[in-house]
Amino acid sequence: MITGAALAVAVATVAGVLVARGSGGSAHRTVAADGLRHTTVGVTSADCGRGWTRPEPGRQVFDLRNTSGAPAEVYLTDPRTGAVYGEVEGLAPGTVRPLRVTLGDGTYAFKCLPDDADAVTGPTVRITGAKVKSGPAAVPVTQQDLIPPTLAYQKWIQGRTVELVRRTDVLRAAVDRGDLAAARRAWLPAHLVYERMGAAYGTFGDADSAINGTTAGLSGGVHDPGFAGFHQVEYGLWHGGSASGLRGPADRLDKAVRALRDSWPGERMDPADVGLRAHEILENTVQFELTGRTDYGSGTNLATARANLEGTRVLLGYLRPLLKTRDTGLTGLDSWLDRAQHTLDSFHHGDTWTPLARLTRTRRERVDADLGELVERLADVAALTDVRRTA
């Protein structure tokens, strides 16, 4: 039988962490199996930052130890500016979790934020004579910071809802007069207007499923009564549906987009979600568009991906004033946006787009790689714009 002490040693060994303790039980620096300097640091209100008594530069690990009875968030900060070098969220009572950072010359302090208690800032330490630069740090974004870009984006969405109604009217009118060839030509321009609005989907509520619902979760598939919106019309247009059979779905779609246009001025997006949405737009693109899961016959997933990319650019444009002073990788992100756009544009030929199924393996791998890299880089935007506790 493994004893509790033996189990603790096993866990520490697997994690590559060896915590050295003196006879008095206080933690001190040691070099662990991972070859990095480890320092055990307390994060409770009473001992926030305690244990870091010999600050040294370089790549290192702080083993954050919560001996209190409440969960806590922990930040390693520059006490002069409030910039955060690293964080651990949800540190449970009685647990130890690592925080890996690279530190150069500067001043540092741990900030501990227990649940249901005020923040506590530990002692300030100074590092001098370093041969390396500190890892990236960013001043936390507040809810107040995010209100102006959120309001500006909401105004942009209002304009798109007007355009959406206009484009959908053209689609409905073509169906009404029985011109299904014209309806197929009108379907994509209308659908792409909606796809550019991706950051607002969470605020749309039930309107999203009425306008752009899929068969996911519907037992009846494309024949389920809950299947509605652009994709229901798409299925009929590209699977031999009749004009009479499509009039009902097209009319309901038209009413849904008009209801969205009329209700949108009274909606309010949550500023705390805006940065996350910048990441989620293309994350959903990779998950649904690049897998063909949302193709109901038109073969236009790559056009949708291009619209999603454009929607991401719009949202980043409103967030850019906040990101310019926080995201050192912004130039690289812009380069990857350009690269992905160039890749997607290569599949556009006049009024048509190359279906996913017709891509060569090389071209498929390229679009997957470009969009996948963007999703990774946009995760940094989500992290930087995450509203953090400061008190």
| pLDDT tens per residue across span 206-245 | 999 999 999 999 999 999 999 999 999 999 999 999 999 9
Confidence of residue 343 (pLDDT cuts 50, 70, 90): very high
> What is the distance of C-alpha 212 from the center of its chain?
21
**Residue 21 confidence (pLDDT) above 50:** no
Distance in angstroms (rounded) separating the CA atoms of residues 91 and 43:
9
What is the domain extent for residue 303? 143-384
> The tokens of 364 are what?
């498929």
Asked whether residue 4 is domain-assigned, the answer is no
pLDDT tier, 116 (very low <50, low <70, confident <90, very high otherwise): confident
Q: Is the domain of 331 the same as that of 293? A: yes
Q: Which residues pair with 44 in a beta bridge?
A: none
Residues 80 and 171 in one domain: no
Residue 119 domain-assigned? Answer: yes
| CATH value at residue 98 | 2.60.40
The answer to whether residues 263 and 366 belong to one domain is yes
Run of H or E including 102: strand 95-103
Instruction: Tell me: do 103 and 181 sit in the same domain.
Output: no
Continuous segment of H or E residues that includes residue 125: strand 125-127
Least confident span in 19-33, 281-295, 303-317, 376-390: 19-33
Q: What is the pLDDT of residue 340?
A: 98
CA pair distance 44, 32, nearest whole angstrom = 24
Residue 204 domain flag? yes
Mean of pLDDT over the chain: 90
d(Cα 253, Cα 250) in Å, to the nearest integer? 5
Q: Predicted confidence band at 307 (pLDDT cuts at 50, 70, 90)?
A: very high
Site of tokens 């520490």: 12
Q: DSSP character for 351? A: T
The CATH number that applies at residue 234 is 1.20.1420.20
Is 350 in the same domain as 318?
Answer: yes
Q: Indicate the number of domains in the chain.
A: 2
Q: Which one of 127, 152, 172 terminates a domain?
A: 127
Same domain, 173 and 70: no
Residue 300 lies in a domain: yes
Domain shared by 302 and 205, yes or no: yes
Question: Quick one: DSSP state of residue 299?
Answer: -
pLDDT category at 172 given cuts 50, 70, 90 is: very high
The residue out of 68, 102, 127 marking a domain boundary is 127
Domain-located, residue 12: no
Q: Tell whether 367 and 286 lie within a shared domain.
A: yes
Q: For position 30, what pLDDT does the model report? A: 60
DSSP code string of 26-91 = -B--EE-TTSSEEEEEE-STTTTTTT--S---EEEEEEEEE-SSS-EEEEEE-TTT--EEEEEEEE
Task: Say whether both 279 and 357 belong to one domain.
Answer: yes
Confidence band, pLDDT 50/70/90 cuts, at residue 31: low
